Amino acid sequence: MPAMKRDETPVVLADGGLEVRIEEIGGDLSVGFFHLPEGTDLAPALAGLPDDMCQCPHWGYLLKGRLLMRSHDGETVYEEGQAFYWGPGHVPVALADTDYVDFSPSEGIKQVIDHVKGGAG
Protein backbone atom coordinates (compact mmCIF):
# COMPACT_ATOMS: atom_id res chain seq x y z
CA MET A 1 0.00 0.00 0.00
CA PRO A 2 1.32 3.46 -0.87
CA ALA A 3 2.60 5.97 1.67
CA MET A 4 4.37 9.26 1.27
CA LYS A 5 6.31 11.81 3.25
CA ARG A 6 5.88 15.55 2.90
CA ASP A 7 9.51 16.20 1.95
CA GLU A 8 9.40 13.49 -0.74
CA THR A 9 6.19 14.79 -2.34
CA PRO A 10 6.70 17.03 -5.40
CA VAL A 11 6.13 20.77 -5.07
CA VAL A 12 3.41 21.77 -7.55
CA LEU A 13 3.04 25.39 -6.45
CA ALA A 14 5.31 27.76 -4.52
CA ASP A 15 4.82 31.50 -4.28
CA GLY A 16 5.62 34.01 -1.54
CA GLY A 17 5.98 31.36 1.16
CA LEU A 18 2.92 29.40 -0.02
CA GLU A 19 3.90 25.81 -0.75
CA VAL A 20 1.71 23.05 -2.15
CA ARG A 21 2.97 19.49 -2.56
CA ILE A 22 0.65 16.98 -4.24
CA GLU A 23 0.95 13.43 -5.46
CA GLU A 24 -1.54 10.79 -6.50
CA ILE A 25 -1.71 8.17 -3.77
CA GLY A 26 -3.88 5.62 -5.54
CA GLY A 27 -6.83 5.35 -7.82
CA ASP A 28 -8.40 8.76 -8.23
CA LEU A 29 -7.15 10.16 -4.90
CA SER A 30 -4.28 12.59 -4.27
CA VAL A 31 -2.62 13.61 -1.04
CA GLY A 32 -1.63 17.23 -0.58
CA PHE A 33 0.70 18.89 1.91
CA PHE A 34 -0.05 22.61 2.20
CA HIS A 35 1.80 25.48 3.89
CA LEU A 36 0.04 28.86 3.93
CA PRO A 37 1.87 31.77 5.57
CA GLU A 38 -0.18 34.02 7.85
CA GLY A 39 -2.23 36.46 5.80
CA THR A 40 -2.53 34.24 2.71
CA ASP A 41 -5.94 34.80 1.11
CA LEU A 42 -6.53 32.52 -1.86
CA ALA A 43 -9.53 34.49 -3.17
CA PRO A 44 -7.51 36.26 -5.91
CA ALA A 45 -5.98 32.97 -7.09
CA LEU A 46 -9.39 31.27 -7.23
CA ALA A 47 -11.08 34.10 -9.15
CA GLY A 48 -12.46 32.79 -12.42
CA LEU A 49 -13.45 29.38 -11.06
CA PRO A 50 -17.19 28.76 -10.60
CA ASP A 51 -18.42 31.19 -7.90
CA ASP A 52 -14.74 32.31 -7.60
CA MET A 53 -14.23 29.41 -5.16
CA CYS A 54 -12.42 26.08 -5.06
CA GLN A 55 -14.84 23.42 -6.26
CA CYS A 56 -12.72 20.41 -5.26
CA PRO A 57 -13.72 18.59 -2.06
CA HIS A 58 -11.01 17.95 0.55
CA TRP A 59 -10.76 15.68 3.59
CA GLY A 60 -7.85 16.36 5.91
CA TYR A 61 -6.19 17.36 9.16
CA LEU A 62 -4.86 20.74 10.29
CA LEU A 63 -1.37 20.13 11.64
CA LYS A 64 -0.55 23.70 12.66
CA GLY A 65 -2.12 27.16 12.67
CA ARG A 66 -5.56 28.66 12.12
CA LEU A 67 -7.49 28.86 8.88
CA LEU A 68 -10.63 30.80 8.03
CA MET A 69 -12.74 29.07 5.41
CA ARG A 70 -15.26 31.15 3.49
CA SER A 71 -18.10 29.25 1.83
CA HIS A 72 -21.69 29.73 0.72
CA ASP A 73 -22.67 28.73 4.28
CA GLY A 74 -20.61 31.53 5.87
CA GLU A 75 -17.23 31.49 7.56
CA THR A 76 -15.68 28.78 9.76
CA VAL A 77 -12.37 28.88 11.61
CA TYR A 78 -10.33 25.66 11.76
CA GLU A 79 -7.55 25.20 14.29
CA GLU A 80 -4.56 22.97 14.85
CA GLY A 81 -5.59 19.42 15.69
CA GLN A 82 -8.91 19.42 13.82
CA ALA A 83 -9.90 16.99 11.09
CA PHE A 84 -12.01 18.59 8.36
CA TYR A 85 -14.15 18.16 5.28
CA TRP A 86 -14.38 21.11 2.88
CA GLY A 87 -17.05 20.61 0.25
CA PRO A 88 -17.14 22.33 -3.13
CA GLY A 89 -17.37 26.11 -2.89
CA HIS A 90 -14.73 27.38 -0.44
CA VAL A 91 -11.92 29.95 -0.14
CA PRO A 92 -9.17 29.59 2.51
CA VAL A 93 -7.54 32.45 4.40
CA ALA A 94 -4.59 31.75 6.75
CA LEU A 95 -5.06 33.51 10.11
CA ALA A 96 -1.66 32.20 11.23
CA ASP A 97 1.12 30.19 9.58
CA THR A 98 -0.81 27.05 8.67
CA ASP A 99 0.13 23.51 7.67
CA TYR A 100 -2.36 20.82 6.74
CA VAL A 101 -2.58 17.56 4.87
CA ASP A 102 -5.58 16.73 2.74
CA PHE A 103 -6.95 14.07 0.44
CA SER A 104 -8.77 15.15 -2.72
CA PRO A 105 -10.02 13.70 -5.98
CA SER A 106 -6.99 13.80 -8.29
CA GLU A 107 -8.72 15.39 -11.27
CA GLY A 108 -10.40 18.06 -9.13
CA ILE A 109 -7.22 19.19 -7.36
CA LYS A 110 -5.31 19.16 -10.65
CA GLN A 111 -7.87 21.52 -12.20
CA VAL A 112 -7.58 23.93 -9.25
CA ILE A 113 -3.76 23.91 -9.28
CA ASP A 114 -3.70 24.41 -13.08
CA HIS A 115 -6.06 27.37 -12.71
CA VAL A 116 -3.97 28.96 -9.94
CA LYS A 117 -0.76 28.47 -11.92
CA GLY A 118 -2.35 29.98 -15.03
CA GLY A 119 -3.56 32.95 -13.02
CA ALA A 120 -0.12 33.46 -11.46
CA GLY A 121 1.52 34.00 -14.84
Is the predicted pLDDT of residue 26 greater than 90, yes or no?
A: no
Instruction: CATH number of the domain at 53, please.
Output: 2.60.120.10
Tally of structural domains, the chain: 1
Return mean pLDDT, the chain: 94
Flag whether 1 is in a domain. Answer: no
- The pLDDT-based confidence of 119 (bands split at 50, 70, 90) is low
Sign of torsion over alpha carbons 61, 64, 66, 69: negative
Please, what is the Cα angle at 111 between 109 and 114, to 5 degrees?
105
Flag whether 29 is in a domain. Answer: yes
Distance of CA 86 to the CA centre of its chain: 10
Cα gap 96→40, rounded to integer Å: 9
Cα gap 110→104, rounded to integer Å: 10
Q: Which domain holds residue 24?
A: 6-120
- Edge-to-edge strands, sheet with 11-15: 11-15, 18-26, 29-36, 98-105, 58-64, 83-86
Flag whether 58 is in a domain. Answer: yes
In this prediction, residues 48-58 reach a mean pLDDT of 97
Flag whether 34 is in a domain. Answer: yes
Q: pLDDT of 30-51, one tens digit each?
A: 999 999 999 999 999 999 999 9
- Whole-structure pTM over 0.85, yes or no? yes
Flag whether 53 is in a domain. Answer: yes
3-class DSSP state for residue 103? strand
Contact between residue 4 and residue 31 where contact means Cβ atoms under 8 Å apart: yes
